[in-house]
């Protein structure tokens, strides 16, 4: 047939909108191009006339949206000859950094909070061969250390304070607009370090400015109750939440995220851990979509604001599901403690009885 259409990642796809040169060596794992799935059952349960879509970033190569930024950050680090990258992380950034460093053939140092990282993310950092520094402290302390270390050590920071990260991440907005044919009315995101909401807004504004779309969404940022600096109006010293990916008290992209909220006419709000986990379970059990706890903050927040009428009926809403549910199997299983976990004999009567019991 002759044509070939191999998808080779978001830098190749959006080359003219990203800061790369013709001869830049692209470090890619085929990130981006993630599904935008329309929810069918949750809107029915809510009995509200809204279109809700989820941008399922768990389909990225390392299972989170971080890959979008990391392909850019590592590509640019390699371009200037960097031999090592470093980041602080609640787990997803370290997985992405480790994977793209492996692909590039350079070294990755990752600082993670000891004992506060989901199992899957720990497995990833190890398997991809990163040098894992587990610190007795939280993400914010790790972030502060990374910034100091990079002043003298020959390492490139790949946290979202690296400007190339947000450049890569803005492509998610491009994909949403292309999938729908327009920008949504509301775009809902979990907010931790606040880079992603900033990047999405950058992407929407760019497509709007260039006339690719003639509308922009209100940006809605949802935080966990125990880690909600935007609601408090100041950093939180000891952030705590089951949603480890947004267990961050001192967001590095504070000003950018605040601007996104204000310019778009959106808002920040917070959810209890209970409500976050409830939304995670609803998505899995009613839509067949399994995201990590932090991701569910976007849908949990959207559902609440739809029910209250704050999000208007007739609206088109996109929620970003930032990470794969498989990142955190322990929290998922702990949530299902009520499930009957009985082992039965491998015999026909036992299986028939079990099925009949459940069919009742």
If one asks whether residue 24 binds its own copies (CB under 8 A), the answer comes out as: no
26: left (phi over 0), alpha (psi -120 to 50) or beta: beta
Q: Are strands 36-38 and 186-190 parallel, antiparallel or unpaired?
A: unpaired
* Among the listed residues 65, 128, 174, 268, the single contact to its own copies using CB under 8 A: 128
Binding mask 216-255 for its own copies (x = CB under 8 A): ----------------------------------------
Q: How far is the CB of 273 from its own copies (least distance, A)?
A: 17
Judge contact between 199 and 166, C-beta under 8 A.
yes
List the one residue from 161, 258, 259, 284 that touches its own copies (CB under 8 A): 284
Closest approach, Cβ 167 to its own copies, in A, equals 20
Within 304-343, the residues that bind its own copies by CB under 8 A are 324-327, 329-330, 332-333, 335-336, 339, 341-343
* Neighbouring residues of 58: CB distance < 8 A, sequence distance ≥ 6: 64, 290, 291, 292, 295, 321, 323, 324, 325, 326, 327
Q: Which of 109, 164, 201, 268 binds its own copies (CB under 8 A)?
A: 109
Instruction: Assess 153 for contact with its own copies (CB under 8 A).
Output: yes
Cα 302 to Cα 25: distance, rounded to the nearest angstrom: 40
**Of residues 51-90, which lie at the interface with its own copies (CB under 8 A)?**
56, 59-63, 84, 86
Residue 267: beta bridge partners? 220
Question: What does DSSP say about strands 316-321 and 36-38: parallel, antiparallel, or unpaired?
Answer: unpaired
Residue 15 C-beta: closest distance to its own copies, Å: 17
DSSP 225-287: TTB-HHHHTS--SS---S-GGG--SS-TTHHHHHHHHHHHT-EEEEE-HHHHHHHHHHHHHHH
Q: Is 124 in the site for its own copies (CB under 8 A)?
A: yes
Is 149 a binding residue for its own copies by CB under 8 A? The answer is yes
Cβ-contact 140, 248 below 8 angstroms: yes
Residue in 46, 287, 310, 316 binding its own copies, rule: CB under 8 A: 287
- Out of 17, 281, 304, 316, name the contact with its own copies by CB under 8 A: 281
Restricting to residues 166-185, name those near its own copies by CB under 8 A: 177-182
- Choose among 282, 274, 298: nearest CA to 43: 282
Choosing from 15, 33, 237, 262, the residue that interacts with its own copies (CB under 8 A) is 33
Q: Is 7 in the site for its own copies (CB under 8 A)?
A: yes
């Amino acid at each position: 047939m002759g044509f070939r259409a191999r998808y080779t990642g978001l830098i190749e796809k959006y080359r003219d909108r990203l800061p790369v040169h013709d001869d830049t060596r692209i470090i890619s794992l085929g990130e981006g191009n993630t599904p935008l799935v329309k929810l069918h059952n949750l809107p029915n349960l809510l009995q509200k006339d809204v279109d809700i879509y989820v941008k399922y970033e768990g389909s990225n190569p390392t299972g989170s949206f971080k890959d979008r930024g990391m392909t850019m950050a590592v590509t640019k680090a390699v371009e200037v000859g960097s031999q090592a990258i470093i980041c602080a992380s609640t787990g997803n950034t370290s997985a992405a950094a480790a994977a793209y460093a492996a692909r590039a053939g350079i070294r990755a140092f990752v600082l993670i909070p000891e004992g506060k990282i989901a199992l899957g993310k720990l497995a990833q950092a190890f398997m991809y061969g990163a040098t894992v520094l587990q610190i007795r402290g939280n993400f914010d302390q790790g972030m502060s250390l990374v910034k100091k270390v990079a002043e003298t050590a020959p390492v490139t920071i790949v946290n979202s304070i690296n400007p190339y990260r947000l450049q890569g991440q803005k492509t998610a907005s491009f994909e949403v607009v292309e999938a729908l044919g327009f920008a949504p009315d509301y775009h809902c995101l979990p907010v931790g370090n606040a880079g992603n909401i900033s990047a999405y807004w950058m992407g929407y504004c760019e497509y709007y400015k260039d006339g690719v779309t003639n509308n922009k969404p209100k940006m809605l940022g949802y935080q966990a109750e125990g880690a909600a600096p935007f609601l408090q109006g100041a950093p939180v010293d000891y952030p705590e939440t089951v949603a480890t990916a947004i267990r961050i008290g001192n967001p590095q992209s504070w000003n950018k995220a605040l601007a996104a909220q204000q310019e778009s006419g959106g808002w920040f709000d917070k959810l209890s851990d209970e409500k976050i986990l409830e939304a995670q379970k609803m998505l899995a059990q009613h839509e067949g979509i399994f995201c990590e706890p932090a991701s569910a903050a976007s849908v949990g927040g959207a559902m609440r604001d739809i029910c209250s009428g704050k999000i208007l009926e007739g609206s088109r809403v996109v929620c970003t599901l930032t990470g794969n549910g498989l990142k955190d199997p322990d929290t998922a299983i702990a949530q299902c403690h009520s499930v009957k976990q009985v082992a039965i004999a491998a015999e026909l009567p036992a299986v028939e009885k079990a099925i009949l019991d459940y069919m009742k």
